[in-house]
């Protein structure tokens, strides 16, 4: 299969466009922002649907910059999340490591698709990620959560296009940014 013709959909950077390498500080900053968004206190109704922003950011960097962010760094970030959430050590670490591996596994393919089709594939990974957390909790003796447990990964997948565009912006060559009307 050759490169899919993209159908004029919401694709800010074409697969052929060469992005500049991401600045390490920007990667770190985005991870810190993801962590912060994960911990902001919200009313309980909103809390049920809050996606895992940190997983989204990690997934983006695992796909775009596999040399900066991979299985190991995702694992470490997961440990920090475990402390932030006061959950059992290793729960998020395991989930994020699997997520990073999944990203590594299909990253060459996923970038060929337009963003909304990427989102569908991202949804599968994010659901897998929360099922791992569920499995760990089951072993720890938790009860079966309500169906809304699957809402955050789906909301997260829906946010994928937005997150991609936001994280991509600093890497785009200045020429194309000027063409966008800046």
65: contact with other proteins by CB under 8 A: no
Among 15, 24, 145, 173, binds other proteins (CB under 8 A): 145
The minimum distance between CB 140 and other proteins, in angstroms, equals: 6
The enclosing H or E element of 30 equals helix 24-39
21-50 mask for other proteins (x: CB under 8 A)? -----------x--xx-xxxxxxx--xx-x
The minimum distance between CB 4 and other proteins, in angstroms, equals: 16
The minimum distance between CB 2 and other proteins, in angstroms, equals: 12
154: contact with other proteins by CB under 8 A: no
Give the max Cα distance, the chain.
56
Residue range at the interface with other proteins (CB under 8 A); choices 2-10, 21-29, 100-108, 115-123: 100-108
The minimum distance between CB 88 and other proteins, in angstroms, equals: 5
| Three-state secondary structure string covering 102-148 | HHHHHHHHHCCCCHHHHHHHHHHHHHHHHHHHHHHHHHCCCCCCCHH
- Buried/exposed code over 66-90 (b: 16+ C-beta within 10 A; e: otherwise): eeebbbebbbebbeebbeeeeeeee
Report CA dihedral (125, 131, 136, 142) to the nearest 10 degrees.
150
Among 11, 69, 77, 93, binds other proteins (CB under 8 A): 93
Could you tell me how far CA 172 lies from the centroid of its own chain? 19
Nearer to other proteins by Cβ, of 102 and 161: the residue is: 102
DSSP sequence for 41-72: ---HHHHHH---HHHHHHHHHHHH-TTTS-HH
Q: Which residues bind other proteins (CB under 8 A)?
A: 32, 35-36, 38-44, 47-48, 50, 52, 67, 70-72, 75, 78-80, 83-91, 93-94, 97-98, 100-101, 104-105, 108, 136-137, 139-140, 142-143, 145-146, 149
């Amino acid at each position: 299969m050759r490169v899919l013709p993209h159908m004029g959909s919401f694709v800010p950077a074409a697969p052929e466009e060469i992005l500049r390498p991401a600045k390490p500080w920007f990667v770190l900053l985005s991870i810190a922002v993801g962590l912060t968004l994960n911990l902001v206190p919200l009313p309980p109704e909103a809390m049920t649907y809050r996606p895992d922003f940190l997983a989204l950011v990690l997934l983006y960097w695992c796909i775009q910059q596999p040399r900066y962010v991979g299985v190991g760094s995702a694992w470490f970030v997961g440990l920090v999340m475990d402390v932030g959430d006061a959950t059992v050590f290793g729960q998020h670490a395991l989930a994020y490591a699997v997520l990073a591996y999944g990203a590594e596994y299909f990253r060459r393919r996923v970038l060929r698709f337009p963003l909304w089709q990427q989102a569908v594939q991202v949804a599968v990974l994010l659901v897998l990620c929360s099922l791992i957390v569920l499995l760990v909790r089951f072993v720890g003796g938790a009860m079966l959560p309500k169906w809304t447990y699957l809402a955050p990964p789906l909301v997260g997948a829906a946010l994928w296009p937005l997150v991609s565009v936001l994280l991509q912006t600093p890497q785009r060559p200045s020429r194309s940014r000027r063409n966008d009307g800046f």
